[in-house]
């Protein structure tokens, strides 16, 4: 869907390239997260995809079409790509409704289609259209502004979204909620998303695919599981931090390690010590501690299918973390 081929970017007046020989591919319907310290080139890559800046060399393709093609007007290209930035950049002199309707207006949608679409979008991002549509940005809280920013980017239903720290400006609790809601939306929308963050936890949570950048170079890319279980070098290890095993437990579904042959003891039933197959293994651990048990039962919907014991979890950690 989106392909970068040996892309370089050197900003004028600088000797050090901001992006060096970066190649990768984002598959359709995936969230690809770029993560790395500030100045690593992740935002630069994003802004090259919708041609806010031009690469010094190398090519970028969207759906097989080169974005730098002369026939392609960059303004028109950008109207087909949703764009969310950390500072949000809502137009302060326009109402929420007008802000969300920005791209449909640029695309000259008929007036009667725009209003219902705006209401639908506000609803979708968890805002009450009757309450906020006529408000101005300064009347909104930080979390509401972020939601409006996302709604604006989604307005014309672009197949591709570029999101630069879209939940960066809100407190951790609101951020977590916005992430969950966005993942839920994405399940239905199946957009191809490039997502930039400096927070490895956000990357692991949001990403189908993670691209780790440092000093303009691509250090490692792969699924969150691959990155966590086989960090390419010490830079990636440091980025992941000390809680690698716990993060692995968050990513592994209970269904993957459930012991299906084991009987479920009566004590487990008495304590109601059950989790679902789609819960992460971490939930099994939490449940054990809460219910003071070293065994949890696993259910698939209403069916009891087996158990996970403390030993099963230890085995998993040893297997995943290898030499670490």
Nearest distance from C-beta of residue 144 to another protein, angstroms: 15
Q: Single out the residue of 78, 117, 147, 191 in contact with another protein (rule: CB under 8 A).
A: 78
Do 145 and 122 touch, CB atoms closer than 8 A? Answer: no
Nearest to another protein of 79, 244 (CB atom) = 79
The smaller minimum CB distance to another protein, of residues 79 and 147, is found at: 79
Candidate residues 23, 57, 113, 139; the one interacting with another protein per rule CB under 8 A: 139
Task: Tell me how far apart the alpha carbons of residues 300 and 322 are, in angstroms, rounded to a whole number.
Answer: 30
Nearer to another protein, 93 or 260 (CB): 93
Q: Applying CB under 8 A, what is the total number of residues that bind another protein? A: 28
Binding residue (CB under 8 A) for another protein from 10, 77, 225, 232: 77
CB of 78 to another protein, least distance (A): 4
Q: Find, among 26, 3, 28, the residue nearest to 191 by Cα.
A: 28
**Residues 6 or more apart in contact with residue 225 via CB below 8 angstroms:** 248, 251, 252
Helix, coil or strand: residue 115: helix
Q: Which two tokens stand for residue 107?
A: 């695309």
Can you tell me which of 18, 32, 103, 249 binds another protein, judged by CB under 8 A?
A: 103
Relative to beta strand 160-164, strand 81-85 is parallel
Angle, CA of 261, 263 and 266, to the nearest 5°? 165
By CB under 8 A, is residue 152 in contact with another protein? yes
If one asks whether residue 141 binds another protein (CB under 8 A), the answer comes out as no
Q: How far is the CB of 215 from another protein (least distance, A)?
A: 24
92 binds another protein (CB under 8 A): yes
* 76 touches another protein by CB under 8 A: yes
Q: Tell me: does residue 72 bind another protein (CB under 8 A).
A: no
Pair 316, 281: CB distance under 8 Å: yes
- For position 109 contacting another protein by CB under 8 A, the verdict is no
Cα–Cα distance for residue pair 324/318, rounded to 1 Å: 9
Integer Cα distance of 302 and 283 in angstroms: 18
As measured in angstroms, the least distance from the Cβ of 110 to another protein is 19
Please identify, using beta-carbon distances, which residue of 95 and 229 lies nearer to another protein. Answer: 95
Q: Which residue's entry shows tokens 């303009």?
A: 216
Binding of another protein at residue 138 (CB under 8 A)?
yes
Among 18, 62, 85, 196, contact with another protein (rule: CB under 8 A)? 85
User: Residue 286 burial by CB count (10 A; 0-12/13-18/19+): exposed, middle or buried?
Assistant: middle
- Provide, rounded to whole angstroms, the least separation between the CB of residue 85 and another protein: 6
Residue 17 and residue 158: Cα distance in Å, rounded?
Answer: 31
300: CB partners within 8 A, 6+ apart: 255, 276, 277
CB of 43 to another protein, least distance (A): 11
Beta strands, E only, the chain? 2-9, 19-26, 31-35, 57-62, 65-66, 81-85, 160-164, 192-197, 209-214, 217-222, 274-276, 295-300, 303-309
Task: State which residue, 53 or 305, has the beta carbon closest to another protein.
Answer: 53
Residue 90 touching another protein (CB under 8 A): yes
Residue 211 is a binding residue for another protein (CB under 8 A): no
Q: Does 108 bind another protein (CB under 8 A)?
A: no
Site map 168..197 versus another protein, x via CB under 8 A: ------------------------------
Residue numbers at the binding site for another protein (CB under 8 A): 50, 52, 75-80, 83, 85, 87-95, 102-103, 106, 136-139, 152, 162
């Amino acid at each position: 869907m989106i392909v970068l081929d040996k892309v370089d970017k050197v900003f004028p007046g600088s000797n050090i390239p901001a992006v060096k020989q970066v190649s990768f591919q984002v598959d359709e319907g995936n969230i690809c997260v770029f993560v790395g310290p500030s100045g690593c080139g992740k935002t630069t890559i994003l802004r090259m995809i919708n041609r806010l800046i031009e690469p010094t060399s190398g090519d970028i393709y969207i759906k097989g079409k080169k974005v730098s093609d002369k026939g392609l007007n960059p303004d028109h290209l950008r109207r087909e790509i949703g764009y969310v930035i950390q500072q949000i950049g809502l137009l302060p002199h326009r109402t929420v409704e007008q802000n969300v309707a920005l791209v449909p207006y640029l695309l000259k949608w008929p007036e009667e289609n725009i209003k219902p679409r705006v209401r639908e979008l506000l609803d979708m991002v968890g805002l009450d259209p009757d309450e906020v549509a006529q408000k101005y940005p300064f009347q909104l809280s930080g979390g509401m502004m972020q939601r409006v920013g996302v709604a604006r980017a989604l307005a014309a239903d672009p197949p591709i979204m570029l999101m630069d720290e879209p939940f960066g400006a809100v407190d951790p609790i609101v951020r977590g909620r916005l992430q969950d809601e966005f993942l839920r939306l994405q399940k239905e929308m199946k957009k191809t998303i490039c997502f930039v963050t400096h927070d490895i936890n956000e990357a692991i949570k949001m990403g189908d695919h993670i691209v780790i950048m440092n000093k303009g170079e691509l250090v490692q890319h792969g699924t969150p599981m691959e990155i966590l279980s086989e960090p390419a070098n010490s830079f990636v290890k440091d980025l992941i931090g000390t809680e690698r095993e716990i993060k692995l437990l968050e990513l592994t579904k209970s269904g993957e390690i459930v012991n299906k042959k084991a009987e479920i003891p009566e004590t487990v039933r008495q304590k109601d010590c059950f989790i679902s197959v789609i819960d992460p293994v971490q939930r099994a651990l939490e449940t054990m501690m809460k219910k003071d048990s070293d065994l949890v039962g696993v259910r698939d919907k209403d069916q009891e299918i087996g158990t996970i014991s403390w030993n099963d979890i230890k085995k998993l950690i040893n297997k995943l973390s290898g030499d670490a």
